[in-house]
């Protein structure tokens, strides 16, 4: 899963991304966390793995991972080639969702590109560039569909009707994700890969002073929350400068610093958990003396498909899944005790995985 981070210059995007890459560098599983200069890989926080580690005493513990993509070059006119233009657009299309960093703090030492702090204006600037890009793609697709529909192609005719609906919506300045579709329309639309159909998480970047003074929900943040609610998006508050400091500290030192600011978790952890929720993701777990590990899947994934996350052979030769819930396993204290109490169960091909399932897949190839 790759999350694209966007934001205008001087909003804290680079600072937040630096914190992400530093956090990734601390991960034992990803010693070369920066796959490319603009990609950072970090662990998905999951305290359940710590508990399983105590039960199984494995050789290694492996978290699920998440990729953050620092998408540069997003300025006014990007859709027409300004800044990094089309390069930025191709990067953002590869992302599962968009993390939009918005400046929600005043600081005379950090100049804003538009001369003043206005998070709503900033959001609209970026949104319009994405809308312009989608309109360009839409118009090219419509040209093809017009020719096909004239030749009697029924699918092309249905596509044209939907595209007219989308075009009117985009031209009114609204993203595709705020448009409601029937199931049939959704099937046709998903092949068009609109940038503005991607889910958005707004990261409202506040100052350390706001955190210390209890003003994390300042007037700027409230405006962002109101806008996000109108388009069914999520908002989290982060302090990018604090995150950059936290990323260089040990876990114990991090907890001390978070406590000083009255926080129970870091902004990065909030960002990851909110992204999971936004994308409808969850984790199942595998455990043994070799390793304990978390695997990311979509909500509603059936057992064979989940098995395929581990290896395609396991999906192909799936027989059944031997499952115990994490909570039941922990209550019993060991796998043997959970089996003795009959808490393990066998599930077939139609079983929908649940978050926290501890599973052993049985297969034959």
CA distance 336 to 176: 51
**Can you say which residues are annotated as belonging to the binding site for ATP?**
10-15
Radius of gyration of the chain, Cα coordinates, nearest whole angstrom:
23
Beta-strand runs (E) in the chain: 2-6, 39-43, 60-62, 65-70, 97-103, 200-205, 234-238, 281-287, 291-298, 318-325, 345-347, 357-363
> Which three-class secondary structure state does DSSP give residue 13?
helix
**Can you say which residues are annotated as belonging to the binding site?**
10-15
Instruction: Give the closest residue to 42 by CA, choosing from 30, 32, 50, 53.
Output: 30
Contact at 8 Å (CB) between 69 and 91?
A: yes
DSSP string covering 235-273: EEEE-HHHHHHHTTS-HHHHHHHHHHTT-SS-HHHHHHH
């Amino acid at each position: 899963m790759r999350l694209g981070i966007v934001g205008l210059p001087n909003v804290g995007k680079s600072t937040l991304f630096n914190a992400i890459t530093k956090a990734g560098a601390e991960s034992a599983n990803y010693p070369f966390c920066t796959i490319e200069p603009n990609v950072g890989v970090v662990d998905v926080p999951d305290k359940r793995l710590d508990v399983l580690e105590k039960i199984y005493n494995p050789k290694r513990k492996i978290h699920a991972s998440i990729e953050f993509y620092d998408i540069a070059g997003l300025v006014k006119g990007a859709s027409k080639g300004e800044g990094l233009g089309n390069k930025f657009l191709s990067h953002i299309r590869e992302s599962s969702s968009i993390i939009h960093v918005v400046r929600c703090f005043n600081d005379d030492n950090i100049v804003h590109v538009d001369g003043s702090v206005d998070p709503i204006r900033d959001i609209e600037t970026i949104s319009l560039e994405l809308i312009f890009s989608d309109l360009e793609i839409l118009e090219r697709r419509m040209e093809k569909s017009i020719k096909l529909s004239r030749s009697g192609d029924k699918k092309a005719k249905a596509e044209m009707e939907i595209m007219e609906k989308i075009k009117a919506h985009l031209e009114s300045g609204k993203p595709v994700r705020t448009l409601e579709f029937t199931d049939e329309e959704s099937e046709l639309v998903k092949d068009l890969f609109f940038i503005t159909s991607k889910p958005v998480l707004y990261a409202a970047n506040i100052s350390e002073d706001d955190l210390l003074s209890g003003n994390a929900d300042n007037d700027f943040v409230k405006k962002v929350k109101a806008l996000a609610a109108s388009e069914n998006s999520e908002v989290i508050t982060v302090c990018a400068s604090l995150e950059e400091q936290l990323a260089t500290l040990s876990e114990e030192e991090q907890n001390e610093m978070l406590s000083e600011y009255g926080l129970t978790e870091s902004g990065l952890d909030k960002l990851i958990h909110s992204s999971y929720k936004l994308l409808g993701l969850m984790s199942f777990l595998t455990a043994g003396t070799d390793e304990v590990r978390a695997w990311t899947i979509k909500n509603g994934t059936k057992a064979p498909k989940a098995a395929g996350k581990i290896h395609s052979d396991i999906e192909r030769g799936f027989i059944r899944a031997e499952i115990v819930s994490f909570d039941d396993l922990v209550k019993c204290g060991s796998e043997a005790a959970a089996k003795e109490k009959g808490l393990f169960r066998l599930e077939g091909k139609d079983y929908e995985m649940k978050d926290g399932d501890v599973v052993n897949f049985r297969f034959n190839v």
